[in-house]
Chains A and B, each alone.
Chain A
Amino acid sequence: MASEERGRGRLLHNMPGLLQASLNPWLVRVRNNPERLAFVLHRVTGVIILAYLVAHIFVTSATVDEALWESVMGALSGPLSRVGEWIVAGAVIFHGLNGIRLILVEFLGLGVGRPERPKPPYVPPSLRSGQRKGLYLVFALSLAGWALAGVIMFAG
């Protein structure tokens, strides 16, 4: 952690690092918090999809020439690429479904409720019945969609 010794890093001493705060749900001690799991998965799948998007832009530029396109598709038709594509498909399905949930909850403010006093034992509204059901629905639909994508990709 040499970078934390320099300048601004010292001010942020009490803050957990990026990995601890957002990318590793097992390092931050929270229990029974599907919202944190959704947040971490949203980030990880987002990065996976962006990497795929950049590669996709370059790969599809081969479509300008038929022979080139056939050779590129031949090189990317192995089982390893298929499994990679299936992982990207799962990432897109989860990111999309959770993104729709986020639009409804964060952008349109659906089911957020009125401001209230945080009386102990405090449970944030995002972890109470309605919103919790939304999170579980996203996880369930994502797994079902991922399985369906597998059927289409490997058997279709």
Chain B
Amino acid sequence: MRASTLQLLQYLSAMALVVLLGFHIIERVPGLSPLTPESYEESLSYEVVRRAYKEYWWVLALLLAAALFHGLNGLRGILLEWRPAAHRVINLVFVAAFIALLAYGLRTIALHLAG
């Protein structure tokens, strides 16, 4: 993929994250959360977390993909500046880490939807 395409995706994922991460955080704030926890502590109880996975699994899946891409691509940029000669290794590690962590996160969501 061209570097300019990746940078465009970096901005687009950033815009998506403002909305998705905003929702993900509001989920935890009592009084604002659509999952209606009674307190900040309560917002991480098993029932509330499970309801989040059941009802907003697609938000979590999109958030996972956008956040992983944005974070790992950002790290890729820092590493490329640090060691320009190692760009092949850096790009390979970026792709491998993105796929592995995305698969692991999606597995958690899939297990909730199945059970």
Contacts and interface: CB of A to CB of B under 8 A. Distances in A.
Given A54-B101, A57-B101, A64 B108 contact: yes
A75 interface: no
Given A63-B49, A69-B46, A99 B18 contact: yes
Nearest to B75: A50
Contacts of B115: 64
Among A22, A49, A57, A100, max chain B CB count under 10 A is at A57
A18 interface: yes
Interface in B80-97: 81-82, 84-85
Nearest to A3: B83
Contacts of A110: none
The range of chain B's interface size is 35 or more
Contacts of B50: 63
B36 interface: no
A100 B78 contact: no
A61 B49 contact: no
Contacts of B75: 46-47, 50
Interface in B32-56: 39-40, 44, 46, 49-50, 53
Given A8-B84, A18-B82, A22-B81, A69 B30 contact: no
B46 A70 contact: yes
A100 B15 CA distance: 8
A63 B112 contact: yes
Contacts of A57: 64, 101, 104-105, 108
Interface string A98-117: 01101100110000000000
Given A18-B82, A61-B107, A63-B46, 16 more contacts: A8-B85, A18-B78, A46-B71, A46-B75, A50-B72, A53-B67, A53-B71, A58-B104, A60-B108, A61-B108, A63-B53, A64-B115, A102-B14, A106-B11, A107-B11, A153-B40
Interface of A: 7-8, 18, 21-22, 43, 46-47, 49-50, 53-54, 57-58, 60-61, 63-64, 66, 69-70, 73, 92, 96, 99-100, 102-103, 106-107, 152-153, 156
5 residue pairs, one from A and one from B, having the closest CB atoms:
A50-B71, A156-B40, A18-B82, A61-B108, A64-B111
